[in-house]
Amino acid sequence: MKRLLPLYATFAYAFLHLPLLVLTVFSFNSSKFTVWEGFSLRWYRAIADDPQLMEAAWNSLLIAIVATAFATVIGTLCAYGLWKRDAPILKGSLYVSLVTPEIVTGVSMLAFFQYLFRFMDVRLGLHTVILAHIAFSLSFVVIVVAARLRTVDPALEEAAMDLGATEWGAFYRVTLPALVPGIASAALLAFTTSFDDYVITSLVAGVDSETLPMVIYGMARKGVNPSVNAISALIVLALGVLILGAERLRSDA
C-alpha cells in the first residue's frame, strides 16, 4: 500500500492541474483547432483589441476593489465586535448567508432591487453589483478575521487599557496590528470571489454593464473560443500570482 498511495496521488494531482495547464498551453496555439500548430500570441493580441472585453475587465476590477474595500472594513469591525461578545442574530444571519445557495442569493437581490426601483429612479448597474458583492463577501471576511482573532490573547487589550488606552485605542494600537495578516487574507479571498463571480452578478448587473465573467460565459456558451483560453490563462496567472504573493508575505510575517 505504501507505493499505491503516491501513485494515486500523482493521478489525483494530474486530475486537478492538467485541465488548467492544457488550457494555458493551447492559449499559445496558433490555430484555433485543438491540434497544436505552432506557438503564437494571436489570441492574446485579440484580447487587447477587443474593447468589449477590456471594458468588462475594467468593470470587474473596479467592482472587486470597491466591494473588497467595503467588505473588509465592515467585516473586520464585525468580527471584532463579535469577539468581544456574542450577537446571536447577526452571527446566525452570517452563517445563513454563507450556506444559502448562490442562485437564491442572486434572485433575491434581483427581486429586492427591482422592488426598490419602483420608488427610486435607478436601474440595475455596476452599483447594484457592488452592493451585492459586498453583501455576499461579508461572511467570508468575518470568518477569516474571526479565526485570526482566536489567536489573539484578550488580556493584551486589558493590559493596554490598564495602562491608560481607551477602548478604541486598545483596538487600534494593540489588536488591529495583530490582525493584519488575517485581514489581508480576508481581503484576498473577497477580491478573488468578487472578481470571479458569475451567478449573482449576471442577475443584478442589468443590460448596460458587463463584467469579465459575464463576457467569458457568453463566449463559452457559444462554443469554445480560443480567445477564452487566453483570457482564462491570464486570469489564472494573475490570481495565482496574487495568491502566491500573499502566501509568501504571510509566511514571512
Partner 1 sequence: MERLRFWFLAPSRLLMAVLFGAPLAIVFFYGLLTRGTYGGQSFPLTDENFARLADPLYLTILLRSFWLAGLATALCVLMGFPLALFIARSGSRKNLFLHLVMLPFWTSFLVRTYAWMFLLRDTGLINTVLQSAGLIHEPLPLLYNDIAVVIGLVYGYLPFMVLPIFSTLERLDPALLEAAADLGARPLSALWRVTLPLTRPGMVAGSLLDFIPCLGAYLTPDLLGGGKSIMIGNLIQNQFTSARDWPFGSALSLALTAIVMVLLWQFLRRKGESFL
Taking the complex as a whole, the smallest distance from the CB of residue 181 to partner 1 amounts, in Å, to: 16
C-alpha span between 90 and 35 (Å, rounded): 54
DSSP code at position 174: I
Single out the residue of 14, 48, 90, 249 in contact with partner 1 (rule: CB under 8 A): 90
The 3-state DSSP class for residue 123 equals: coil
Counting contacts by CB under 8 A, is residue 22 touching partner 1? Answer: yes
C-alpha span between 99 and 93 (Å, rounded): 10
Single out the residue of 105, 175, 194, 209 in contact with partner 1 (rule: CB under 8 A): 105
Q: Report the residue number, 5 or 121, with the smaller CB distance to partner 1.
A: 5
Site for partner 1 in 175-194 (CB under 8 A): 192
Counting contacts by CB under 8 A, is residue 236 touching partner 1? Answer: yes
Site for partner 1 in 55-74 (CB under 8 A): 74
Counting contacts by CB under 8 A, is residue 45 touching partner 1? Answer: no
Owner of C-alpha cell 490573547:
153
Count of positions (residues) in the chain: 253
Counting contacts by CB under 8 A, is residue 120 touching partner 1? Answer: no
Q: Report the residue number, 62 or 236, with the smaller CB distance to partner 1.
A: 236
Counting contacts by CB under 8 A, is residue 165 touching partner 1? Answer: no
Q: Report the residue number, 52 or 108, with the smaller CB distance to partner 1.
A: 108
**Cβ proximity of 192 and 186 under 8 Å:** no
Taking the complex as a whole, the smallest distance from the CB of residue 51 to partner 1 amounts, in Å, to: 21
Counting contacts by CB under 8 A, is residue 253 touching partner 1? Answer: no
Distance of CA 94 to the CA centre of its chain: 17
The 3-state DSSP class for residue 245 equals: helix
Q: Which distant-in-sequence residues (6+ apart) come within 8 Å of 41 by Cβ?
A: 28
